[in-house]
Structure 1
Amino acid sequence: MEDPHPRIEPRNIQFDFAPELPVDWHSDNPAVSHFYDALSLTFPQGERFFIDSVRLFEGEIADPELRRDIKSFYAQEAIHSREHASYNALLSAHGIPVEGFNRLMEKATRWAQRMMPAKGQLAATCAYEHYTALFAESILGDPRVMSDAHPLYRDLWRWHAMEEEEHKSVAFNVYQAVAPGFLGYLRRVIVMTIATFDFMIAIPILQTWLMYKSGNLFNFKAWGKACWHLWISPGIWRHVMLGVFSYLKPGFHPDKRRVDPRVLEWRAHYRATRKREIGMHPTLFGES
């Protein structure tokens, strides 16, 4: 069986966000699509924040294996940022004022970097990386999550999820190295609590804003189907929220969470299709 924790591998994949791609790319439903669009809007600046917070402590890391993983983490996150910037540019082409939101995110990030101590910034990265790992578990472990998505977006989210699962412990390992003991634990729990409130408020607000901008704010049928998708079946939001509690345990480590066999399949899949055009290949799990 493949090692569940192999070397972190940056995959320089570029997606073709052509203008003819559907706006309601998931389930032909604007509310479901805009939930994932809301996540995408936060990624370019968020991924840069993650890189910067780890870089603050890179010089204190002596372990050569962790230093190698840090470099691969930087590369993966930079590619994610680039691809989601392209994704978001297509939202802009569809009439969403993305540039204004980007400026707001940049200001908020600069403010956080000025106001938060360095270890607090790293703890924030650990918290949000746990969220992305939880999304990855659901996206990769339950084919229903992306079964009704357009093939390009389906591949984008599964590729991103697979790499997030792959590097989920890097920032945490750096944090443990520079902030050990009870104070380190207390800080990461406090920061996770703050991050949870931020996440639970910011993403629904962004989703609602996108629904307003696309003229679907009062599309109650779409909202109802989105609530079912997010909370009931497949229930990706429910999976993520319930997964937060494990992070609060003193002995928590990302690598202690079970690696779904489908994650290993996706790693093998992307190695085998490295040079193929992503978004056009048949899916690994056999959906049409």
Structure 2
Amino acid sequence: MTAAQTAISPTLSANRQPAGARVGIPPRRVMMNLDTSDAGYWYADSPFLTYFWSAFSVLLPEGEQFFVNAVRHYRDQITDADLKAAISGFIGQEALHTQGHQVLNDFINAKQLPAAELESQLKILLDAVAKIHPRLNLAITISLEHFTALLGEQLLAEADHHGAVAEDIRPLWMWHALEETEHKAVAWDVYQQTGGGYALRAGTMALTTVILGGVMAYSTGRLMHADGKLLNMRDNLKGLRALFGRRGRMTRLAPKFLDFFRPSFHPNDHDTTALVAEWREKLFGADGSLNGLLKGAKIH
């Protein structure tokens, strides 16, 4: 089996659901195979936007392992049964996302682009950060989970957004977006229930935003340079406007992003209940579009 045929799945018995399923955070078995994909610039046929989202994918395997480790460190301090079950679901989902995006990253790397090198560089950075303090790791996790939850919500909600992704790559992003939205409050609740404070989370978010912006710019630039597209100014400017222009996707996320800095904020203040229900049915319901990629027990 090649890397692009990796099973996106933890072990799951057909007659025993994992704990996370009980609280609406089920790890789902999905298979991705990009071995025969001929997707080129797979987002809106744009080199800039394709490499922007490719850079995001490249960051995810190491990043999500960091999240899992940060939450797992505090699991034994949690006494609430529902949150403990949610932690199990969070860990299961994130582990599967790690494997899923590795399939895409291998696909990117096979195009003679430096995906593997960028992953290695990020690992060095995150391994160094992880040694500082577990509480900081959890604060970083809730900061980045806020980003991924907002990005996931937007991807689900905006048809022109998910419609711009090439058909054979779209399932990965839609499945990931749904599950990021399902588990968006788990790390936050762990942080709060184990004594995390406002000052650390606000300060960490400010610093994390700057670092993430730098890492994304560097990674996107490296991928574009490797493909000879770094100086494609027309496409670059069009892509920057699509993301950061007056009505750009990132620009429109700003109000919800800034909610993080309200002392009383909680991720569930952004009500995505209906959106999650809609996309659970579309992707994994009776006629779900991803049912053909599911492996093992079907979990709605």
1:81 maps onto 2:125 in alignment:
no
Structure 1 residues 97 and 200, CA gap change in structure 2 (3 angstroms): closer
> Structure 2 matches for 1:248-267, cutoff 5 A?
248-259=261-272, 261-267=274-280
When the two structures are aligned, how many residues end up with a matched partner?
270
Query: Which structure is richer in relative contact order (CA contacts within 8 A, separation 6 or more)?
Result: 1
Matched letter for residue 251 of structure 2: R
Partner of 2:155: 139
**In 2, Cα distance between the equivalents of 1:202 and 1:19?**
30
1:107 maps onto 2:124 in alignment:
yes
- Report if aligned partners of 2:114, 2:222 keep a CA contact under 8 Å in 1: no
- Report if aligned partners of 1:11, 1:76 keep a CA contact under 8 Å in 2: yes
Task: Report percent identity of matched pairs.
Answer: 28
1:186 maps onto 2:199 in alignment:
yes
1:21 CA displacement:
2.6
Which of 153, 159, 180 is the equivalent residue of 2:169? 153
**In 1, Cα distance between the equivalents of 2:164 and 2:108?**
20
Partner of 2:4: none
1:19 CA displacement:
4.5
State the SS of the aligned residue for 1:106: helix
State the SS of the aligned residue for 2:37: coil
**In 2, Cα distance between the equivalents of 1:241 and 1:205?**
22
1:240 CA displacement:
3.3
Partner of 1:238: 251
1:62 maps onto 2:79 in alignment:
yes
Partner of 2:15: none
Partner of 1:275: 291
> More deviation in 46-55 or 99-108?
99-108
Partner of 1:169: 185
Which of 11, 14, 22 is the equivalent residue of 2:28? 11
**In 2, Cα distance between the equivalents of 1:262 and 1:178?**
30
Matched letter for residue 120 of structure 2: R
Which of 111, 123, 135 is the equivalent residue of 2:139? 123
> More deviation in 36-45 or 218-227?
218-227
Structure 1 residues 261 and 238, CA gap change in structure 2 (3 angstroms): same
- Report if aligned partners of 2:105, 2:116 keep a CA contact under 8 Å in 1: no
CA RMSD of aligned residues (A): 1.8
**In 2, Cα distance between the equivalents of 1:105 and 1:26?**
24
TM-score, normalisation: structure 2: 0.85
- Report if aligned partners of 2:143, 2:208 keep a CA contact under 8 Å in 1: yes
1:11 CA displacement:
1.1
Which of 223, 232, 240 is the equivalent residue of 1:227? 240
**In 2, Cα distance between the equivalents of 1:195 and 1:6?**
29
Partner of 1:32: 49
CA displacement 1:36-83 (0-9 Å, x = unmatched)? 001001000000000000011000000010000000100000000001
Structure 1 residues 44 and 154, CA gap change in structure 2 (3 angstroms): same
State the SS of the aligned residue for 2:31: coil
Structure 1 residues 22 and 86, CA gap change in structure 2 (3 angstroms): same
Partner of 1:195: 208
> More deviation in 235-244 or 269-278?
269-278
**In 2, Cα distance between the equivalents of 1:265 and 1:277?**
19
**In 2, Cα distance between the equivalents of 1:260 and 1:70?**
19
> More deviation in 72-81 or 230-239?
230-239
Runs of 4+ with deviation above 4 angstroms = none
1:205 CA displacement:
2.0
1:231 CA displacement:
2.6
For structure 2, the residue ranges without an aligned partner over 5 or more in a row are 1-21, 295-300
Structure 1 residues 19 and 204, CA gap change in structure 2 (3 angstroms): farther
State the SS of the aligned residue for 1:148: coil
Partner of 1:213: 226
